A and B are shown apart, each in its own frame.
Chain A
């Protein structure tokens, strides 16, 4: 056994992408075992590897962890990306949960019926511009620090960068009205571990294409 975490999921972003981001930001190398057909998932289930018969599953430190939040919480705690005390953790949790809501909304666009896609996207981008980004711009403005919480890199910063980039895939000028978020993005993207993750050949996955959906449904349904 290599000692590296092993990620079990399909070869797509889905619910595993935040885990990839966080491990990468923490400088932790990991392996991936991709589910390619229904039988691959079935095998994990019958092995008893999946507590609730679901992936994501991450083998880490002798555990077979499931539940994305649990996995992210563990990684963040282990690699000191979760604040220094309960109160910093509370702030981080608030920011991360808000970002997860936005991220999920954006990601759902690809599975909307054709006649609803445009409206759905407009709604998601509106929320990004008027509900979420202003909050984080204000946080940065109010304390004037480089990072969201405790003047130090945390998972909240990593999730914020991830979310900004996903929104920009749909609207490249999404940060036009948010100067502090723009400099946050530039700063974060330049950090060595994250810079490496943003380069071609890294474990970072591309956006989901519609043509991939039938195969994914075949694995997961």
Chain B
């Protein structure tokens, strides 16, 4: 059994990317191979993205100190998950639908999600979203911010606290390493990724925007 967690997925972002982020932030090294989100870790073969993320967060103390902090983290992660979820099908859309979906996601980010997180940071004035210490919620939010900025580079304009947050979290050593070239972080899905997923899963040929 490998001592490092083994990730089974396509060589692309999809649903595995949040898992790579969380493992990276926790400073955990991984191997990778093939198929659907599956992670071999601690003698278990874990499937279901949420189950995997919950386990990693719990194991590496990124899930708050008690039930109430976990509740907050779960709420915040739920929001960023919904937001990034709008982009999951993006690579599979037609060029025209991509434009529409892009506008849709940016609108949701700037009118619903970013204001919520900006307010959280404003209300408690702390560096991290929950419990004045780094948690899964912070990592997930950074991932979402960077994804949105790939679609609209000034997505954070009007959100000064989120801008400072982004800088701060990006400079945490494990995350800084993940953001540097040569890390396990995956680039934006390209045509090759789309073709591979379609071929292996035999689906996503006729994807409509949200």
A, B: real partners: yes
Residues of chain A whose beta carbon lies under 8 Å from any beta carbon of chain B = 51-53, 61, 63, 65-70, 73-74, 77-78, 86-87, 89-90, 93-94, 96-98
Complex CA gap A73/B82 in Å reads 17
Complex CA gap A69/B76 in Å reads 11
Given A86-B58, A90-B44, verify A70-B51 contact (CB < 8 Å). no
A67–B67 contact, CB under 8 A? no
Residue of A nearest to B83 (CB): A52
B75 within 8 A of A: yes
Residue of A nearest to B59 (CB): A86
Beyond contacts A52-B113, A67-B74, A77-B70: 15 other A-B pairs, Cβ-Cβ < 8 A, are A51-B79, A52-B79, A63-B71, A65-B75, A68-B78, A70-B75, A74-B67, A74-B74, A77-B67, A87-B42, A90-B44, A90-B55, A93-B50, A93-B51, A93-B55
Mark interface residues in B27-54 (1 if CB within 8 Å of A CB, else 0).
Answer: 0000000000000001010111111001
Residue of B nearest to A66 (CB): B75
Complex CA gap A74/B75 in Å reads 10
B116–A94 contact, CB under 8 A? no
B75–A67 contact, CB under 8 A? yes
The answer, among B48, B55, B67, for a CB contact under 8 Å with A89, is: B55
Residue of B nearest to A70 (CB): B74
Residue of A nearest to B82 (CB): A52
Number of interface residues of B (CB under 8 A): 25
Instruction: Decide if the interface of chain B is mainly helix, strand, loop or mixed.
Output: helix
B68 within 8 A of A: yes
Complex CA gap A77/B54 in Å reads 13
Q: List 6 A-B contacts (CB under 8 A).
A: A51-B79, A61-B68, A73-B74, A74-B70, A74-B74, A97-B48
B59 to chain A, nearest CB (A): 6
Complex CA gap A66/B120 in Å reads 15
B68–A63 contact, CB under 8 A? yes
Taking CB atoms, residues of chain A closer than 8 Å to B46 are: 90, 94
A51–B75 contact, CB under 8 A? yes
Taking CB atoms, residues of chain A closer than 8 Å to B54 are: 89-90, 93
A136 to chain B, nearest CB (A): 14
A48 to chain B, nearest CB (A): 9
Taking CB atoms, residues of chain B closer than 8 Å to A98 are: 47-48
